Amino acid sequence: MTDDAPLLVWSKELRTPARQAPSVDRIVRAAIAIADAEGLEAVSMRRVATDLGSGTATLYRYVANRDELVDLMVDTVQGEDELPALSGDWRADLTAVAHRVRTTLLRHHWLAAELSGRPAIGPNSLRRHELAMAAAAPLSTDITLTSNMVGTLMSFVFGAVTQELAEIQVQRRTGLTEDQWRASVSPYIREVIATGAYPHLTRRMIEAEDTAPADLFDFGLSCVLEGVSRAAR
C-alpha cells in the first residue's frame, strides 16, 4: 500500500458529529432503509440527506462518498444479529452459520450482489468470517482446506439465496403473485411440453412436487456438508 493510497473507511477515526448534524450511524441506517425499500440504486448522498432533513454537504463531512457509504451499510447489516455460540459440532455449527447468512441476505435483498462485488472487510464482516472458520476448524488442521470448505459453503448459500431472491424480484417487478405468474406463462409451457423435445423437464413440470425455498435450502446445505465431510477425510 503506497502512502498516497486512499485510506480505508475501517482505518479512519470517524469524527464525532456536531450537535445538529446526523451521526454516521443515522446516515448509514437511513441509507439501509432506502435500499431495503427501493433497491440500492436509489441510494445517493443527496437522497439520504433529504430523508434526514440535512444538507448533502453535511453528509460529506462524515462519509467521504457513496462507495464508502455502501461499505458501511454492508458491514452494519452484517452486525445486526448476535453471532451464534459454537457447540464444537462442526455440522451443527456450519448449519447455524449458513442459516444466519441466509437470514441476513433475505432481510436485505441488495446485500448479496454487493458482497459478491466488493471485499467485505469491516469488523462485523470479519467477525462473521472468523466464526465460520472456527466452526469448520474441527474438520481439519489444514487451514487452506478449511478455508476452501468455508468458501464452498458460502458459495452455495449465496447461489441458493440469489435464486430465491430472483423469484421475489420477478413478483415485485411484474406485480403478479406466483399463481398469477404461472397462469400467465402456462400457455407457453404447454407448447413446450407438446414439442416432446424436453422429456425430463416435462416430467419435472408435470410430476415433481414444488419444494418450499427453506426446504430446498436445507436439502442443498445437507448435500454440501456431506461433501465437505468427505473432503476432510
The total domain count for the chain is 2
Residue 4 lies in a domain: no
Going by C-beta distance under 8 Å and a sequence separation of 6 or more, which residues neighbour residue 22?
30, 52, 54, 58, 59, 62
Measured distance CA(151)–CA(6) in Å, rounded: 28
Same domain, 30 and 53: yes
| Residue 2 reports pLDDT greater than 80 | no
Same domain, 148 and 126: yes
The number of C-alpha atoms within 13 Å of 129 and in the hemisphere containing its C-beta is 13
Write down the pLDDT at residue 179: 83
Write down the pLDDT at residue 4: 61
Residue 2 lies in a domain: no
| Residue 19 reports pLDDT greater than 70 | no
Same domain, 113 and 191: yes
Q: What is the DSSP secondary-structure string of the chain?
A: --TTSPPPGGGS-PPPPPTTSPPHHHHHHHHHHHHHHH-GGG--HHHHHHHHT--HHHHTTT--SHHHHHHHHHHHHHTSSPPPPP-S-HHHHHHHHHHHHHHHHHHSTTHHHHHHHS---SHHHHHHHHHHHHHHGGG-S-HHHHHHHHHHHHHHHHHHHHHHHHHHHHHHHH---HHHHHHHHHHHHHHHHHH-S-HHHHHHHHHPPPPPHHHHHHHHHHHHHHHHHHHT-
Same domain, 208 and 164: yes
Same domain, 208 and 173: yes
Measured distance CA(72)–CA(76) in Å, rounded: 6
Domain boundary among 78, 104, 130: 78
Least confident among 5-14, 50-59, 68-77, 110-119:
5-14
Same domain, 139 and 218: yes
Which pTM does this prediction carry? Answer: 0.85
User: Residue 201's domain is classified under what CATH number?
Assistant: 1.10.357.10
Query: Which residue in 19, 27, 132 sits closest to 72, CA to CA?
Result: 27
Residue 143 lies in a domain: yes
Measured distance CA(29)–CA(35) in Å, rounded: 10
**Average confidence (pLDDT) over 197-219:** 92
Same domain, 96 and 68: no
Residue 1 lies in a domain: no
Measured distance CA(34)–CA(28) in Å, rounded: 10
Q: CB atoms < 10 A from the CB of 98, how many? A: 24
Measured distance CA(49)–CA(27) in Å, rounded: 8
Q: Which of 57-61, 66-70, 117-121 has the highest mean pLDDT?
A: 66-70
Domain boundary among 49, 78, 107: 78
Same domain, 98 and 207: yes
Residue 3 lies in a domain: no
Residue 163 lies in a domain: yes
**Average confidence (pLDDT) over 36-49:** 95
Same domain, 72 and 94: no
Same domain, 154 and 212: yes
Average pLDDT over all residues of the chain = 89
Instruction: State which residues form the domain around 216.
Output: 90-231
Write down the pLDDT at residue 233: 78
For residue 158, which amino acid is it? F
Backbone angles phi, psi at 39, to 5 degrees: 100, 155
User: Residue 35's domain is classified under what CATH number?
Assistant: 1.10.10.60
Q: Which of 8-12, 165-169, 217-221 has the highest mean pLDDT?
A: 217-221
Measured distance CA(48)–CA(27) in Å, rounded: 7
Domain boundary among 19, 50, 78: 78
**Average confidence (pLDDT) over 30-53:** 96
Measured distance CA(48)–CA(124) in Å, rounded: 23
Same domain, 112 and 62: no
